[in-house]
Structure 1
Amino acid sequence: MACPDCGGDLVSFPVPADLQRFLPGDEPGASVCRSCLALHPETEPPAEAPDFAALDDSIPEDEAAAVPLLLLIGLLDSLAMHRAEITALLERVEKAGVDPLLALDRLDASYGDEAHVDLGRRRRQLEQLL
């Protein structure tokens, strides 16, 4: 399947039940674009999570950190609207043992202008928000 935003390849993954509230709609999973990191709801995700490090080595291998980080990136297009959700996801990534701001720095260095949202600018705004 192709990303509706840029036409890139999508990687689908299941979203644990306790994180599904961070997805738009009622889908049980999500897809992330390999090219622009745009997040899309997925109606039929695979039963198991993919190798997230294969998507980009800046994404944690551990599913407990990777899924909330990807959901967080999906919400960064509107910090004001999703402030509570973003804060909860940042905490979740940290509890999984990953520095979410450092991960965003690495993803910004990796994706740059190709990302669906300006990760560097959003990272700075997140720092102020916290």
Structure 2
Amino acid sequence: MRCPVCNAAVVPFDVPEEYRGHLPAETEHAGLCSRCLRLHPADEGDGDFEQLGEEFPQDPDVAVPMAIAIGLLDSLALNRQNIEELLDVVIEAGVDPILTVDRLQTQGSTDPAVDLNRRMEQLQQLINANSEEEAA
């Protein structure tokens, strides 16, 4: 599958039922573009997350929510709750989502559609706010 925006390879994956409500359009399969990091509906999913680089989580239980969260970063204001819930899953699995986004950004083969430096700062604020709420 190719990205309809930048024509790069899209990494398709199966979307478990618990994550379908986080997508812009509920679907059984989605894909994350390996270059622009846009999220797209897909006809099927193979979950070969290695195409996103060694730094990306390979375990589908972590990779799927991480991929969806990254795909939703284009509109943090509209997708804030979904992103928070997805990142909670990633963090609970022991993966640092900020480090993952940073590595994606610096690996050279990506040209993200959003300013990931700015988004990483905002994500850090979301994570810190959630940690403070949980501690209270």
TM-score (norm 2): 0.84
Is contact 1:68–1:92 with CA below 8 Å preserved after alignment? yes
Q: How does 1:110-129 map to 2 (within 5 A)?
A: 110-111=107-108, 114-129=111-126
Structure 1 runs of 4+ aligned residues shifted over 3 Å read none
2:99 matched to 1:97? no
The unaligned stretches of length 5 or more in structure 2 are: 128-136
Q: Tell me which residue corresponds to 1:72.
A: 69
Aligned Cα RMSD in Å?
Answer: 1.7
Contact 2:104 2:110 in 1 (8 A): no
Q: Is the 8 A contact 1:15 1:67 kept in 2?
A: yes
Q: Which amino acid aligns with 1:82?
A: N
Identity of aligned residues (%): 44
Aligned equivalent of 2:41: 41
CA gap of 1:93–1:71, structure 2 versus 1, over 3 A, is: same
Tell me whether 1:50 sits opposite 2:43 in the alignment: no
Give the C-alpha shift of residue 51 in structure 1: 2.7
Larger radius of gyration: 2
SS in 2 for 1:32: strand
Residue-by-residue CA offset, 1:57-79 (whole Å, 9 max, x unaligned): 12111111111110001111111
How many correspondences in the alignment?
Answer: 127
Q: Distance in 1 between matches of 2:47 and 2:65?
A: 14
Going from structure 1 to structure 2, the CA distance change for 1:113 and 1:61 (only over 3 Å counts) comes to: closer
TM-score by length of 1: 0.88
